[in-house]
Structure 1
């Protein structure tokens, strides 16, 4: 059985990897666009995986991070990359490697969206870098699981209290959408962030409590839906709750042209349709 020839790393990727200073959003996007093009050019998963293995053995942590970046994507079949990815991430000494390598490893684990990547991803939950913790919050709720295991729930509850608003937002969403995970502790944690003033955390909590039909969301929705500046998450929460008492407030928003200029009016139309049906049922 022949060993596939491993191609060199394109210069456009090496140049960006070795660029001095912090990356801005545009530079970051350009880097991952280049990685995506390179991965697509490889074609054969065996070549991609062989290259990732070679990079993981490189003494340069930037190159080791690139090995994870090559596998940071979700596809219909991730079986060929899953075991090597998990083993490489688990082999990292998180106290010794730099934040860029930790970021890339956590990003790849979160991106594959698979339950087998969950346990190694949770290792990163207390990382000092909030961008790494954000990957944990985003990836700790893989879509293939009907219920989150207790370990994941515990981590997400902790991340809902994170100092970083983006981490709180993702953790609230990831746990909130799992309505099958429904305990007094989870509901209390969701209720506690209903007044969060940053990111979309409060709105995600409102949706989550509505999914669980927790009455603590009722006064919040009455207040928010009376304001023309209400966000679409509160409309989603009203729809999930299915209580026709919100119809007058929703119709008032419709009359005032909510969402027309922003293109978000379909959120309102959907809520009106669902709640109107509930009122005649």
Structure 2
């Protein structure tokens, strides 16, 4: 990438409203140039006094190439300096998402700082915090995710439940307790994420929860994945087949869901 190409793409991104399609189109193009020069430019942007430039630098660098070990630790350090000096909601949120894409470089000292965001008044910041912690197995990260799994925001509870249930294999009473609590949620997505998490841990309460979902006949593709991966999932075949027979000619039923249901039956029958 030459200087002119960079300048044109940067100017388009700068003029676009952050987070609309036009903005991300420019960011995606800029991310294609995985060079030392681009890395240097991004750090210059992050260290500038201009808020929009900081955001652009973070958005490019956070997913610049597949192997980021050469610059990700430095980027993480720059982001934590931002946390010490900035109160801008969008910049903090973008920084947290950037951490989520590179959180294998997170250390204990970083988690101590991140914890303060769990009580932020901003739903966007708490949501981005949840993303930043996905897949981290450290006790401090799990503790924060457990608290976020109680959040008043449905999307935050959903992501935190997903993080605890399927993104880590850690199995503790505290994790099982929040997963079971959320397995009783009125929200379908949260409930089925929690059931999947309990199923992954072979929790003895899962059978009753699965039967409840089947009797309600209100489940999606996530639930199929649980049935296909749980031990002795074939025991539920009679109920699943009955549901399929009941709805297979119903024109109001989502065709993709019906197809997934049929495939679930086929796979379980072959076990």
TM-score range, shorter chain: 0.7 to 0.9
Higher mean C-alpha deviation, range 160-169 or range 65-74? 65-74
Asked whether the equivalents of residues 107 and 132 of structure 1 are also in contact (C-alpha less than 8 Å), the reply is: no
Instruction: Compute the displacement of 1:44 (Å).
Output: 4.1
Q: Is the 2:162–2:193 contact (alpha carbons within 8 Å) kept by the matching residues of 1?
A: yes
Q: C-alpha deviations, 1:162-213, integer Å up to 9, x for none?
A: 1111111111111101463111111111000112233611110011111111
1:240: how far off?
2.5
CA contact (8 A) 1:203 1:234 kept: yes
Distance in 2 separating the partners of 1:110 and 1:178: 13
Partner of 1:187: 176
RMSD across aligned positions (CA) = 2.8
- Of residues 146, 157, 181, the one that matches 1:157 is 146
In the alignment, is residue 127 of structure 1 matched against residue 92 of structure 2? Answer: no
TM-score (normalised: structure 2): 0.83
The question of whether the paired residues in 2 share the 8 Å contact of 1:191 and 1:205 is answered with yes
Contact 2:92 2:125 in 1 (8 A): yes
Q: Deviations along 1:93-123, whole A, 9 cap, x unmatched?
A: 35743011101111111123x4114654771
Over 3 Å counting, the alpha-carbon distance change for 1:92 and 1:179 in structure 2 is closer
How many angstroms apart in 2 are the aligned matches of 1:224 and 1:199? 10
- Counterpart-to-counterpart distance in 2, 1:130 and 1:118: 25
Inter-partner Cα distance in structure 1 for 2:31 and 2:73:
19
More helix by share: 2
Residue matched to 1:20: none
1:74 and 1:252 map into 2 onto residues whose CA distance is 49
Tell me the alpha carbon deviations over residues 209-258 of structure 1, each in whole angstroms, 9 at most, x when there is no partner. Answer: 11111122222211211344322222222223233331111111222229
Inter-partner Cα distance in structure 2 for 1:76 and 1:55 = 21
Q: How many angstroms does 1:277 deviate by?
A: 4.5
Runs of 4+, deviation exceeding 4 Å = 4-7
Q: How many residues align?
A: 260
Residue in structure 2 matching 1:80, options 66, 70, 92: 70
Aligned-partner Cα distance in 1 for 2:3–2:64: 25
How far has the Cα of 1:149 moved from its partner? Answer: 1.2
1:169 is matched with: 158
Give the SS at the match of 1:92: helix
Q: Specify whether residues 178 and 50 from structure 1 end up closer, same or farther in structure 2 by C-alpha distance, changes over 3 A only.
A: closer
Structure 1, unaligned runs of 5 or more: 18-22
